[in-house]
Amino acid sequence: MNHYTAYGLAIRSELDFPGLPTIDSVDTPADVVVRRGTVEPVPTSVVGEGQRRIRAEPQTCRLTYDGLGSIRVDEGAEIWIDPLSEDATVEFRRHIQNEVLGILIHQRGLLTLHASAVSVAGRAAVFLGPPQAGKSTTAAAFHTQGYPLLEDDVVGIHFENDTPTVVPGVPQFRLLSDAVDALDVEATSLPVPTAETGSTKCYRRVEAVPDPVPLAGCYLLRDAETLSLDSLPPRKRLFELISKTYTAGLLSDTEATSAHFQQCAEVAETTPFRILRRPDDHQQLPSLVELVVDDLRSSV
């Protein structure tokens, strides 16, 4: 068995995950186990998204990928994989790191957002926006300036002593090729097609952050001709969080709607929100980083 960590969890796995930090198996009991087993496929009558179909119940979620096989997530503690072939097993690694772990932390009660997050002087900045808004590129720009990545794509927030805290996720970027070139970062994988947009992304593994980081600010990415930062009125914050929920389509099926609403409300009430307007110009990224860092420092 292999032993890893992500989202503050100790993971024992029959499958190897080169992109996850390893841990000592003797000193750390497993929170999550990944193993092979029989998983009943999601019926073809279920409307899918691309090549994936999903069916969720409280504490159980099944995902079937056409041509690859099925995965089941149970009780926030077990991930069962049932690949159709060994080639499918390779694809399952990517799906588990990019998608399935997000469902698992949702089952464990974390607020799970489609976002990216970085650590600035021990405080977390979370970047929110629609697909292809530049969340990954923004986080990568911070990383090139020496600010650690907490998570790119699926951000998990738990509430420690009523304080929203970002837990470190999978330590890798998923960047479009133009961002890789503009930021002059070295990818650690060949370009991988994405089912959502048809584009390709390169993966870049980075050093993991060991500990959770308190949430200091949420930044909503918006296109504009010039770089600016504006406050978001409190009445709009809750909507923005709910609309960026990673597991939004599963809330009713998993009976988590009420708890999720309360979590979003707590973040909206206790965390500064900013609208981060910026041009589609990678040369402006260093100025963007400086603007956000100054904003975070001013809120200490």
pLDDT at res. 188: 52
Length of the chain, in residues: 300
166-220 confidence digits (pLDDT tens): 999 999 988 766 666 666 666 555 445 555 545 566 778 889 998 999 999 999 9
Q: Can you read off the two tokens belonging to residue 150? A: 């907490």
Give residues with Cβ within 8 angstroms of 161, minimum separation 6.
none
Q: What is the pTM (predicted TM-score) of this model?
A: 0.90
Query: What is the structure's pLDDT at 241?
Result: 93
What is the model's pLDDT at position 275?
Answer: 97
State mean pLDDT over 106-117.
95
Joined together, the tokens standing for residue 61 give 């979620």
Using alpha carbons, list the distances in angstroms from residue 102 to 40, 110, 207: 21, 9, 20
Better pLDDT: 180 or 99: 99
In one letter, which amino acid is 221? L
Closest listed residue to residue 156, CA positions, set 106, 218, 206, 208? 106
Give me the helices (H) in 48-169, please: 86-95, 101-107, 135-144
Mean pLDDT of the 8-21 span: 93
With a pLDDT cut of 90, the percent of the chain lying above it is 67
Which pLDDT tens digit goes with each residue over 41-50? 999 999 888 8
Is pLDDT of 86 > 60?
yes
Q: What is the pLDDT of residue 141?
A: 93
- 3-state SS of 167-232? ECCCCEEEEEHHHHHHHCCCCCCCCEECCCCCCEEEEEECCCCCCCEEEEEEEEEEECCCCEEEEC
Give the closest residue to 170 by CA, choosing from 121, 122, 105.
105
User: pLDDT value at position 190?
Assistant: 46
**Domain map (residue ranges) of the chain:** 2-107, 111-298
- What is the pLDDT averaged over residues 229-258? 87
Q: Are 258 and 166 in contact (CB under 8 A)?
A: no
Q: Give mean pLDDT, residues 80-97.
A: 92
- The mean pLDDT of 121-139, rounded to a whole number, is 93
Q: DSSP letter string over 103-117?
A: HHHHHTT-EEEEEEE
For CA atoms 282, 214, 116, 172, give the dihedral sign. Answer: positive
pLDDT tens digits, residue range 249-284?
Answer: 787 777 788 888 999 999 999 999 999 999 989 899
Place of tokens 């899918």: 48
Q: To the nearest whole number, what is the mean pLDDT of the chain?
A: 89
Q: Are the C-beta atoms of residues 190 and 127 closer than 8 Å to each other?
A: no
Region 151-171: mean pLDDT is: 93
CATH number for region 111-298: 3.40.50.300
28: confidence class by pLDDT, cuts 50, 70, 90: confident
